[in-house]
Every structure is written in structure tokens, then in C-alpha cells.
């Protein structure tokens, strides 16, 4: 799988860029200063979410890699997914699960902004700790400044534009934010399904090799968020949102990085694309169970 290169042309990469920027713009329209007051009023919950997603999830990922010793490209895919910020659908799933939606939105926004630093930092650090993966990183020799610029263009700038629109045209932002949320989820699915469909033969051959890893990886991420919520004395609603924020990652950003800088390296792309599907399954399943409770 380390030698498999998946097909994704430049127009598809451009589409991912535009789609991710649109998604982040939609998230920003749902923000308000009132929601960001959570950082000051309930700092323990916000800090718990940041620690679980930015620190504990990448560490757990590395432990999982050490235990299972996957091929280098698969390991890099796992590390990249864990290094990405929270996914855009996490807010929608938190709402379905009757979690703390304001906490979810706050964490998605903060981790998205911090991704310009933490995504390259965590990926480079843990990627080089695993010897087989280090060899790929040495061969590819990433320009991290360019990666950070890409993240800034598709995440930071759309958030700034969205906040500006929200501030100047609050009525318009309120009207379109919910429809944009649903459109964003559809576009996200389109990215993942498009990546899989373009390389369907490879995916069918390789998915069995990554299924258990993604299952354990995603399950561990959900558990980390949930138990961090318990550790800081969060309510059941807080714990649900912390679990979902940690278990739902921005795999669209991961795919963009893979096809832009790793030439569609097979193991990385398959892990990331399958995570993009599986976290929807696990997220909606948990939301259904928690909603019934």
C-alpha cells in the first residue's frame, strides 16, 4: 500500500479547496461573541476539549501505531487525521445528540484556527517518531510554510470573512447559517465519496486492511473526549459534545494535504477517506443512542 498512488486531478484539488473554504465560512456565520464567552465562563470544558483533541488524540494515535505496526503510509494517514481540527459536521451531530452545541461550535472554531500551527506540528512530530513513516517524510521533504499558508487560505481567511459578514449583516447570517450547515455536510460527503469513487478498485482491495484500525482509532478518540469531560466535571451534554468534537475530524483537510503534497499516497488517502465515512456512521449512531436517553 505504501507504493500505491491514488488518482486525483488538479481540478478536484481546487474543488476541495473551494468546498473547505465554503464550509469554514458557514461555520463562522454561526459564531457570536456570546458563544465565545464560554472560553471565559467555562474554561475547564473548553480546555478539556483542546487537550483531548490537540494533545491526547495524536498521542493515542502514536500508541496505536506502536502496538499495531502498520505500513508507513497507513501510519501517516492515522497521524494526519489525528492532527486535523474538528470536522464541520460535529456541530450538527452535537445538536442531534442534544449536547452542548455552543461548546461544540466554540471548539470547532478554536481548533480550526489553531490548526495552522498544530496540524503541521503534530504531524511532523509523530510522523518522525515512527521509523517507517520517517523515511517517507524524508523523501517527500515537505515545505511546512507552504502547508501553513494553504491551511490559512482555506480555514483562517473564510472564518474572518464569515465573522465580518456576521457582524455587518446579522439578519442575513442568521437566515442562511442553518441551510449552509446542511449544504456543508453534503459537500463534505461529496469530497469523500468523490475521492473513493475515483479510486474505487484500490479502495475495495484495501479497506479490509484499515477497517479495524479506523474503528479502534475513532472509538478511542470518542472515548478520550467523553472521559475528559467527566474528568473536569462536565454535564452529560458537555461530555457528549467533547466526545463528538474529538471523534469527528476534518478529514476533508486531510485529503487536501494528501493530494496536494503527498501525490495521493495510497495508505494515507484510504485511511483518511474511510475515516471520513466511518466518523459519520459512529457520530450519527451515538447521537441516536444519546438522544433516546
Domains of the chain (ranges; CATH) run 10-292 (1.20.1530.20)
Q: Over 60: is that where the pLDDT of 2 sits?
A: no
Q: What SS3 class is residue 263?
A: coil
Assign 155 a pLDDT band (cuts: 50, 70, 90). confident
Burial of 162 (0-12, 13-18, 19+ CB in 10 A): buried
* pLDDT band of 138, cuts 50, 70, 90: confident
**If you search the block for the grid coordinates 487525521, which residue do you land on?**
81
88 vs 249: which has the higher pLDDT: 249
Q: Please, are residues 48 and 65 in contact by the beta-carbon 8 Å criterion?
A: no
**Rounded distance between C-alpha atoms, residue 19 and residue 13, angstroms:** 10
Dig out the grid coordinates for 226 from the structure: 467523553
CA distances from 102 to 34, 91, 99, 235 (A): 9, 8, 9, 14
If one counts every other C-beta atom within 10 angstroms of the C-beta of residue 140, the result is 13
Residues 6+ apart with CB under 8 A from 62: 79, 126, 129, 130
Is a pLDDT exceeding 60 seen at residue 181?
yes
Q: Across the chain, which distance is largest between two alpha carbons, in Å?
A: 53
Give the residue-averaged pLDDT of 164-186: 80
**Model confidence pLDDT, tens digit, residues 3-37:** 555 555 556 667 777 777 787 787 777 776 666 66
Q: For residue 43, give every residue at least 6 positions away whose Cβ sits within 8 Å of its Cβ, in sequence order, or none.
A: none
249: helix, coil or strand?
strand
| Best CA proximity match to 180, nearest among 31, 22, 32 | 22
Q: Indicate the burial class of 76 (C-beta count within 10 angstroms; 0-12, 13-18, 19 or more).
A: buried
pLDDT at residue 5 in the model: 53
CA–CA distance from 97 to each of 84, 116, 260 (Å)? 23, 29, 35
Bridge partner residues of 249 (DSSP): 86
Q: How far apart are CA 147 and CA 190, in angstroms?
A: 23
Average pLDDT over residues 84-92: 82
R_g (Cα) of the chain, nearest Å: 18
Higher pLDDT, 192 or 83: 83
pLDDT at 106 over 60: yes
Whole-angstrom distance, CA of residue 105 vs CA of residue 92: 9
Short-list 252, 251, 249, CA closest to 86 = 249
Candidate from 42-51, 64-73, 180-189, 270-279 with smallest mean pLDDT = 180-189
CA distances in angstroms from 180 to 29, 109, 138, listed in the order given: 9, 16, 40
- Going from the C-alpha of 92 to that of each of 56, 63, 97, 192, 287, the distances in angstroms are 24, 30, 9, 18, 10
What's the predicted TM-score (pTM) here? 0.84
Amino acid at each position: 500500500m505504501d507504493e500505491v498512488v491514488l488518482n486525483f486531478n488538479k481540478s478536484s484539488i481546487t474543488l476541495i479547496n473551494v468546498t473547505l473554504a465554503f464550509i469554514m465560512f458557514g461555520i463562522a456565520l454561526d459564531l457570536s461573541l456570546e458563544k465565545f464567552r464560554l472560553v471565559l465562563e467555562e474554561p475547564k470544558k473548553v480546555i478539556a476539549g483542546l487537550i483531548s483533541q490537540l494533545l491526547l488524540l495524536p498521542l493515542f494515535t502514536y500508541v496505536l501505531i506502536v502496538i499495531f505496526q502498520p505500513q508507513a503510509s497507513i501510519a501517516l494517514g492515522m497521524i494526519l487525521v489525528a492532527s486535523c481540527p474538528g470536522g464541520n459536521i460535529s456541530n450538527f451531530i452535537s445538536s442531534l445528540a442534544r449536547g452542548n452545541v455552543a461548546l461544540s461550535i466554540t471548539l470547532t472554531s478554536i481548533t480550526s484556527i489553531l490548526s495552522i500551527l498544530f496540524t503541521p506540528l503534530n504531524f511532523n512530530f509523530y510522523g518522525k517518531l515512527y521509523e517507517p513513516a520517517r523515511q517517507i517524510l524524508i523523501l517527500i521533504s515537505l515545505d511546512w510554510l507552504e502547508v501553513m499558508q494553504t491551511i490559512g487560505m482555506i480555514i483562517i481567511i473564510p472564518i474572518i470573512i464569515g465573522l465580518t459578514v456576521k457582524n455587518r449583516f446579522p439578519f442575513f447570517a442568521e437566515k442562511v447559517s442553518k441551510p449552509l450547515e446542511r449544504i456543508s455536510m453534503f459537500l463534505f460527503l461529496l469530497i469523500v465519496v468523490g475521492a473513493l469513487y475515483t479510486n474505487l478498485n484500490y479502495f475495495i482491495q484495501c479497506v479490509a486492511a484499515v477497517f479495524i484500525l479506523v474503528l479502534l482509532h475513532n472509538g478511542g478518540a470518542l472515548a478520550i473526549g467523553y472521559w475528559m469531560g467527566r474528568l473536569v466535571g462536565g454535564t452529560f451534554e458537555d461530555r457528549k459534545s467533547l466526545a463528538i468534537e474529538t471523534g469527528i475530524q476534518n478529514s476533508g483537510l486531510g485529503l487536501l494535504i494528501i493530494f496536494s503534497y503527498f501525490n495521493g499516497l495510497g495508505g494515507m488517502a484510504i485511511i483518511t477517506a474511510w475515516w471520513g465515512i466511518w466518523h459519520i456512521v459512529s457520530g450519527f449512531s451515538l447521537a441516536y443512542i444519546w438522544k433516546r436517553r
